[in-house]
Structures are given as C-alpha cells and as structure tokens.
Amino acid sequence: MSQERTRKLAVSGMLVAVIICLSGFYIPVGASKCFPVQHMVNVLAAVLLGPWWGVGIAFCASLIRNLMGTGTLFAFPGSMVGALCCGLAYAATKKLFPTCLAEVGGTGILGGLLAYPVAVFVLGKTAALFAYVLPFLVSTIGGTLIAAALIVIMEKSRALDYLRRVLAG
C-alpha cells in the first residue's frame, strides 16, 4: 500500500471517529434538531480525500452507529449519497460552492427521497415520499455551513494546502 493511501486511510479513520464521537451533537432549529457532523465530514472528505473515500467514511460511520444503536438505517442513503455527490462535485470543479450545493442536494433531496423506500419496504413504516427531505435538509445545511466555514479558515491559514501536501506524500 502506498504512503498516500495509508495517510488517506488514517485520515478517514479519524473522520469516522469524529462522526461517531460527535453524532449526538445537535443544534436546535425550531421544532427540529440539526445533526451537522456527518454532513460537515462529507464536505471535508470531498475536499481532502475525494468522492470514494467520502462514501467509505459515510458507510463506515453509518454501520458503526447502527451497530452501536445510536443511528438508524436512514443514515445510509443520506450520508452516502451526499458524500458521493459532493465528492464528485469537488473532483469536477475544485470549488467549494458547488461542492456545498452538491452535499445539500445529495443528502437533503436525493438522500431524503431514498429514505422513503427504506422506511416503507425495509422498516415497514407508513411514510410520505417527501417525509424525510425537510429533516435531512435541516441537518445537511447546518453541517455544510460549518464545513464551508472550516474550509475557508483552513484556506486562509494555509492549513488546507499543508494537509493536501501531507496526504499526497
């Protein structure tokens, strides 16, 4: 295994740990709760590691949270689709704004819609097609804003360039 892949694997493991450790953190938003950490990590992974690493991180975090009893099956479609969309957007554009839009659209809209068959066919619940879109949007917007702020700060302090150099070997 190359040094670059080993470093990316180590960073991925740390990002999964961040998601697991902070998964209970939420921000009250009206009558709902914004759980931003997964979405923040999706954007950070897109910028630092790429789309496939981001999807792997999202899958591992969702699996561990489900095995621990702190997550639901809805974590899989939301986090993984969002990670893929924002990772592909960053790979194509190398720009933060389209990456953030892709995370919001991927998790909030596509992931929210994909939660419907999970609810109906896997969990046997009665649900409307768009029932999960709004809650997914609330969390992904919060996490995406936090990630965007972190990335802008890291860019201005040159920490992002340093991290990219370290990951590249």
* pLDDT, tens only, 94-135: 999 999 999 999 999 999 999 999 989 888 888 888 889 999
Q: How far is residue 20's CA from residue 140's CA, in Å, rounded to a whole number?
A: 17
DSSP 109: I
Q: Is 8 helix (H, G, I), strand (E, B) or coil?
A: helix
How many residues are there in the chain? 169
CA distance 62 to 68: 10
Domain 3-168, second-level architecture: Orthogonal Bundle (1.10)
pLDDT tens for 42-83 read: 999 999 999 999 999 999 999 999 999 998 999 999 899 999
